[in-house]
Chain A
């Protein structure tokens, strides 16, 4: 078995999600090659070479790959991927954007969001917003799949000593162009990888109140901040903070849901958290059914009290 892993990065640093994908690749077994497609991404390739369990790093360094345009990167991955039994990427927006295109170029079916490896060609994945878990077996010559990061413990980022090989070939489809990017800056840990997540929902009332009430709690706990779709749609916080079926999937040690009712679409994004705390004024809120501890009360008084007692 030989596995090609598409690295997730911003041309400067290797995103931690890649370590979870390598962990899934190790469960499948076989030689693991990491492909870094980017521009000025030597540092990323060097970091990937140090990742435990990686035997080779391919660096495709060209302006055509600078912004991870799917049209260009997928053409490269499909071409390089022909010699591998598996092609994997993180189930991030980037992985989900590129890999189905790769699969279609290779004329193979693809598996999204695997949460367990049952065999080299058999995997588990959630369907119906996580309300059912399907075991899927592929009979394709090449298995193309995205990996849900929170389902696999990351491998160590140090300890490996893979060689880095340059890929000369350039694929520029010429049908798409990067215009710009607005990245939300934050001092807090990254949502998908944080150990503690504090999330707010419609119940927080406003963007101003979201920050007034939840920032001190997140600061105190060193937590990442999340939100329900209702809070995002109401404009309280930007959309990249959304946790749920259509947002980010998180599985921290501690998830604190504040003013969130707990629609099934939200639960799909956080119900694998180790400990769930719900703070809500509604005793009947569906979130309480998945919470380990729930407190019925006004979040505007309960949360500041919680901050003061931590």
Chain B
């Protein structure tokens, strides 16, 4: 299977390219047909590097309610990016659970994204090992280990290459407990896979396949948005007694640097998080999309004074937390859902339908979905494909002015 030679450099050049848009250095107009409207992004510091959601300071960790509830907010923290936070979570679970093994393609030397760096030296080649290049084999092998009560943390190098393992995950892992009447289960299984757009990943280093798996009872599907989230959610995923597919937005691996509690902590699965409270409209997303939503909200609140938007990070795609979204929409009456995956049959369709059922009398306008276009993830056109801050901004405006 094709793999980029230097996957680790993908995001660097992406953020460089984003930087030129962000800082708006050029005054040149690219189109003679452009009208005189001011581009909403102008003057705004955008992207992950400017995010106010990240826990960059120790005091922001101290104030985080979920970390307080876990009794780790007051403890020691360490500056980590998402790769390091994942590495830290793996090290913790390997230390506390002797049945835990970590394997996949190229994980032994540290992984193409450096998430398993140092683990083989520390825990030995019996516990951290390379497999042959076979995704269906990796998933099947992991299921077999889990069926013996062991903890198997398997890596699929890119989410784009998880499809050869689809049969093992959909027909086997998800149904293992149910079909056997709980005689056997594959609960010890966690599949990690880097996902989502990265600037120039093209068709096969950019995909967001979560909705394929969101249609499979028996699986859990989890996507973190930052280093702190990644550690807490990954520890939950690995310890959860159900098979979990854990998609890591690869663009966030280096860019989401936070003060991460050094202690062991878990963040709850099937629990959305209100990352910014608001009263007029609910905006829902997950993974790297959260940062585009953050920017869109900033633009709206700047351009429509008095309006406040509520931002919800879904975090778990299956089984998902409909209650938190329902409560929010019952207050705001408006809902915009965004994800990078193509719109057609994407997860937003499920959430929109569910919220429409639950909140019919409270909805003030149609539910908006801002998603990837229904095309293969394009290379040079990625900027048009993405459910970027501008598209979300327009959708929020449409909803508010409906």
Q: Real complex partners, A and B?
A: no
Question: Which residues in A have some Cβ–Cβ distance to B below 8 Å?
Answer: none
